């Protein structure tokens, strides 16, 4: 009887915890649902058939764009939200991206569908690394009255604090109101000193930048990265999290197996979306290191502390050789 009572008590506790982030049935309440692709075009064999940017309409007011692997093996994702008053672009892609034409196409199609002539565009970043800000100059150079641009410099901490309304970095939460669309801004230094996560209340999507995605999580500042992971867990507690979306896919669908650095052709990619459970798994991995950073492979991602002391002999030569081989095959991987 005692065992049964304890079991019921445990079950009740679990249910109480699990219902914090649940939504009304049968339609999930006000959460705006959407669709992620079954596969991305980066899995294609021929660069001639892959567009500069693949555009995925998650739903009518949220778009995910992925840069072609043929312009840069990093093939990052960028994100575009539309509110009633403003649109917001998060990141501008890597080198050779030529983002402006694709971005203008998406914005103008959205305007046409919504019967509008223009919408102001905010341009912000998850962090200031080159594979996420290389398109900045091209977007800043736009003089398009249909989408007047307000640009937040990616390396200016004080400007970011003022723009987002963050008094105490990195512990405070900032906000951006796009008009009937509130985006929460969570400082998450560790991958870089200025890393930021974005939580969209409308979709329940958390954008984690390079701090959590299916691939290699490069850690520059281990204590800050661990603290940021714990803050994200605390922030998401009790909130609906439909997906955690990061900036890359470097993982295969095979557990514990990633693609080598420099890979262009990625057949059988891991899906982009992770869950809040991945945050908990990451925290557990970091805690298991007891403050001593080390490389660690998990099922859907791996932790890679940055620094020469963590590199293996021959790593650089191996990556350069692989990248060269990938470029030689980029026009038709089926022939190799």
Which tokens in the block code for residue 39? 């596969």
pTM of the model: 0.92
Rounded to the nearest 5 degrees, what angle is found at the Cα of 277, between the Cα atoms of 274 and 279?
80
Q: How far is CA 168 from the centre of its chain?
A: 24
Query: Structural domains in the chain?
Result: 36-335 (3.60.15.10)
Q: Output the tens digit of pLDDT for each of the chain's 336 residues.
A: 433 443 444 444 433 444 456 677 777 678 999 999 999 998 889 999 999 999 999 999 999 999 999 999 999 999 999 999 999 999 999 999 999 999 999 999 999 999 999 999 999 999 999 999 999 999 999 999 999 999 999 999 999 999 999 999 999 999 999 999 999 999 999 999 999 999 999 999 999 999 999 999 999 999 999 999 999 999 999 999 999 999 999 999 999 999 999 999 999 999 999 999 999 999 999 999 999 999 999 999 999 999 888 888 888 888 889 888 888 888 888 875
CB 176 within 8 A of CB 191: no
Backbone angles phi, psi at 91, to 5 degrees: 80, 160
């Amino acid at each position: 009887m005692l065992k049964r009572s304890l079991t019921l008590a445990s079950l009740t506790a679990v249910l109480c915890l699990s219902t914090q982030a649940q939504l009304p049935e049968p339609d999930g309440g006000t959460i705006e649902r959407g669709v992620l692709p079954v596969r991305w075009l980066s899995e294609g064999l021929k660069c001639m058939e892959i567009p500069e940017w693949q555009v995925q309409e998650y739903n009518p007011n949220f778009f995910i764009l992925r840069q072609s692997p043929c312009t840069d093996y990093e093939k990052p994702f960028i994100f575009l939200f539309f509110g009633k008053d403003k649109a917001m672009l998060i990141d501008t892609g890597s080198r050779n991206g030529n983002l402006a034409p694709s971005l203008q196409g998406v914005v103008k199609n959205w305007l046409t569908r919504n019967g509008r002539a223009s919408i102001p565009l905010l341009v912000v970043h998850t962090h200031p690394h080159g594979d996420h800000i290389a398109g900045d100059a091209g977007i800043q150079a736009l003089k398009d009255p249909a989408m007047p641009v307000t640009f937040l410099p990616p390396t200016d901490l004080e400007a970011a604090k003022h723009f987002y309304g963050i008094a105490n970095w990195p512990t405070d939460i900032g906000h951006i109101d796009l008009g009937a669309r509130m985006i929460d801004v969570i400082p998450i230094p560790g991958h870089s000193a200025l890393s930021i996560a974005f939580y969209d209340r409308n979709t329940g999507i958390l954008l984690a930048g390079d701090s959590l995605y299916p691939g290699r999580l490069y850690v520059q500042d281990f204590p800050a990265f661990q603290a940021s992971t714990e803050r994200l867990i605390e922030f998401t507690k009790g909130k609906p999290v439909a997906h955690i979306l990061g900036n890359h896919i470097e993982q295969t669908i095979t557990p514990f197996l990633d693609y080598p650095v420099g890979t262009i052709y990625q057949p059988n990619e891991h899906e982009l979306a992770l869950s809040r459970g991945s945050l908990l798994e990451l925290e557990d991995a970091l805690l298991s290191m007891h403050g001593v950073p080390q490389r660690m492979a998990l099922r859907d991602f791996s932790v890679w502390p940055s620094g020469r002391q963590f590199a293996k002999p021959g790593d650089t030569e191996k990556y350069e050789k692989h990248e060269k081989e990938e470029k030689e095959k980029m026009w038709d991987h089926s022939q190799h």
